[in-house]
Homo-oligomer: A and B are copies of this chain.
Amino acid sequence: MATDRSPTRIQKRNRANILEAALDVFSQNGFRGATVDQIASAAGLSKPNLLYYYPSKEAIFTELLSKLLATWLAPLRDIDPKGDPMEEILGYVQRKLQMSQDMPRESRLFANEIVQGAPRMIDTLSTELRELVDATEVIFQGWMAAGKIASVHPRHLLFSIWSLTQHYADFEVQVQTLMTPEDPFAAAPEFLDTLYRRMLTPTT
């Protein structure tokens, strides 16, 4: 496989199929729980054929992670320091919630990895994500100092948003089981909107 030439039609199709299949399998079983054979057949390929496109299971996982991280963090980058504070935060919450609903596999992929100590993500966490979180903290602190939102611990605020929104994807089985027949996502937007509005409305 010539990696330094522009990819052929077949390469494009197969690489896309592999990543799609890998997302399915890794998000459901975690890295160690997933087998190359599972991914291969989910992608409609034989195992050696899959390994013709990616040199190892690890390589598939790594590429998948790095391709998805940007998407996953986009809403956080989109927070506008010059926007209305309450609207920005409530909007971020709703966007994250929507992502949990639309992309539960991505959420679980990261959840699986982090619960097990994030052995393949720790570098990204402590550099790229750390910077982004630091920047967000500054924004939140500015809003709090200006009295636009109530003063709370900015990092805990951010973690709480991640926690609450991703919970619906990561623990979907549990939420589904305990909410049936109600649709968990039906009342979630309003619940979270109310929660953050009450917590963050300044008490002058």
Query: Residues of A at under 8 Å CB distance from B?
Result: 28-30, 32-33, 108, 111-112, 114-118, 122, 125-126, 129-130, 133, 150, 152-153, 155-157, 159-160, 162-164, 167, 170-171, 173-175, 177-179, 182, 187-188, 190-191, 194-195, 198-199
| Contacts A153-B187, A167-B159 given; does A174 touch B28 at CB 8 Å | no
One of B111, B116, B130, B175 near A33 (C-beta < 8 A) = B116
Task: Answer whether A194 and B152 are a contact pair too, CB < 8 Å, given A173-B118, A175-B159.
Answer: yes
Query: Measured between alpha carbons, how far is A122 from B112 in the docked complex, in Å?
Result: 18
What 4 A-B pairs come out closest when comparing CB atoms? A163-B167, A32-B33, A156-B191, A125-B177
Q: Is B116 a contact partner of A30 (Cβ separation < 8 A)?
A: yes
Q: Does B178 lie within 8 Å of A129, measured CB to CB?
A: yes
Query: How near does chain B come to A138, taking the closest CB pair, in angstroms?
Result: 14
Determine the distance from Cα of A117 to Cα of B108 in the docked complex, in whole angstroms. 10
B32 & A174 in contact (Cβ 8 Å cutoff):
no
Nearest Cβ on chain B to A154's Cβ, whole angstroms: 10
- Complex Cα spacing A182 to B137, Å: 14
Of the candidates B33, B115, B126, B155, the one whose C-beta lies within 8 Å of that of A171 is: B115
Q: Residue A29 contacts which of B32, B152, B179, B190 (CB distance < 8 angstroms)?
A: B32
Residue in A115, A126, A171, A173 whose Cβ sees the most chain B Cβ within 10 Å: A115
A150: which B residues are within 8 A, CB to CB?
A: 198
Q: Smallest Cβ distance from A62 to chain B, in angstroms? A: 18
Q: Judging by beta carbons under 8 Å apart, are B28 and A117 in contact? A: yes
Q: How far is the CA of A33 from the CA of B29 in the complex (A)?
A: 10
Chain B minimum-CB-distance residue to A29: B116
